[in-house]
Structure 1
């Protein structure tokens, strides 16, 4: 198998971790492997990314944002 035929693994710069069981619940946000903030909504994720100089055009693009323990609509524990 040549390198050009190998699957490419893309690691997004932004990772939003699972919901923390607190009141109010939140999700930790990592940029480049470093925890940089807490988000309680998608808007918080966008604001944290913007503060780091990252523009997000599509929150559903796995090459841009990785959602752990739920998707962009998961902000509460079950």
Structure 2
């Protein structure tokens, strides 16, 4: 079986999502934005990831918004 299989390789700029014919033709187009930033190769680049939990001492929608806003402003 292995003899009949070729080695797979991924070429840059060769990725394409296959289209499904006849699917999704009745809806309307919309713009989707995502929290995505292209990262290029930079020598000696150190990336850090921080995870944190916010424990609310107050309840309610307004309290939640104010605390979240404060956390991100102070980072």
Please indicate, yes or no, whether the TM-score normalized by the shorter chain is above 0.5: no
Q: TM-score, normalised by structure 1?
A: 0.23
* Higher RCO, 1 vs 2 (CA within 8 Å, ≥6 residues apart): 1
More strand by percentage = 1
TM-score by length of 2: 0.24
Point out the structure with the larger helix share.
2
